[in-house]
Amino acid sequence: MASSSASISLLISLLLGSFMVSTANLYQDLDITWGDGRAKILNNGDLLTLSLDKASGSGFQSKNEYLFGKIDMQLKLVPGNSAGTVTAYYLSSQGSTHDEIDFEFLGNLTGEPYILHTNVFSQGKGNREQQFYLWFDPTADFHTYSILWNPQRIIFSVDGTPIREFKNAESLGVAYPKNQAMRIYSSLWNADDWATQGGRVKTDWTQAPFTASYRNFNASNACVWSSGSSSCSSSSSSSSTSWLSEELDSTSQERLKWVQKNYMIYNYCADTPRFPQGFPPECALNTSS
């Protein structure tokens, strides 16, 4: 009995394993939503490209909605003169009191650094920007951008290095994203009124089309929200949800400090002129200030 049920569960896990490998395919996870042919899924679902020209940008969204997750994707940004372009990659719910967790990549002239802009909205309130330079050229190769979103914290990471932590500050009266399911969205568009060097450098349309590339979307550690229930509340998945209480260990905290010391170029929690009456309450909880 014991050995036959063990072999049956082995068989089931082999079948599930091959099922999961075969669904690691962008056609299964993502929908192109706009851009009239400028967004494409290529190579049998291994690669997605967004492009932008003078007439339009383009975008995609995830098929699923998630309520908490650890979601990774690899991006390779618009190379060369990308000034004026913005590539946004974010989680968002719907409506005027929406929640949102943002990565936005602000392009630049050839050889000048991109800015990685981050923000967190809860119940429609944002204004929580932190901006970074990267420690590599994000246009030369694919790099992994991750969002860990659990009930206690949101951690933004780049190639496994945490760059930002936003802690749940409900105890200080700050709303936290935890009741609204979110989808992944991404878009490439023209924002030359503000994106590059404060809007002074405009998009050079002679360089169009501009193209950003995506691969290896991984939401296998995310709770899919569907018809009012979560895939994580079924007992079968409870063994693989340690990320739901994950926090930064001491090594990761050191790396976060390294990034914030060397690569952070803007932190709303340090912008005294903007908050003359004092910083928003959550700033007291977050390491950087």
Which residues are annotated as catalytic? 100, 104
Q: Compare residues 116 and 174 and give the one whose CB is closer to ligand NAG.
A: 116
Backbone angles phi, psi at 57, to 5 degrees: -95, -155
User: Which residue in the shown chain puts its C-beta closest to ligand NAG?
Assistant: 112
DSSP string covering 144-206: EEEEEE-SSEEEEEETTEEEEEEE--GGGT---S-SS-BEEEEEEEE-TTTSSGGGTSPP-GG
* Interacting residue ranges for ligand NAG, rule: CB under 6 A: 24, 70, 72, 106, 108, 112-113, 115, 196-197, 218, 220-221
Q: Give me the residues paired with residue 188 across strands.
A: 58, 87
Q: How far is the CB of 111 from ligand NAG (least distance, A)?
A: 9
| Residue among 79 and 280 whose Cβ is closer to ligand NAG | 79
Hey, CA dihedral for 230, 233, 234, 236, is it positive or negative? positive
Around 53, how many Cα atoms within 13 Å sit in the side-chain half-sphere?
Answer: 9
CB closer to ligand NAG out of 221 and 286: 221
Q: Pick between residue 92 and residue 221 the one whose CB is nearest to ligand NAG.
A: 221
> What are the φ and ψ backbone dihedral angles of 157, each rounded to 5 degrees?
-130, 155
CB of 67 to ligand NAG, least distance (A): 17
Q: State in Å, rounded, how far the first CA of the chain is from the last one.
A: 60
CB of 52 to ligand NAG, least distance (A): 16
User: Contact 167/282 with Cβ under 8 angstroms?
Assistant: yes
Shortest CB 260 distance to ligand NAG, Å: 17
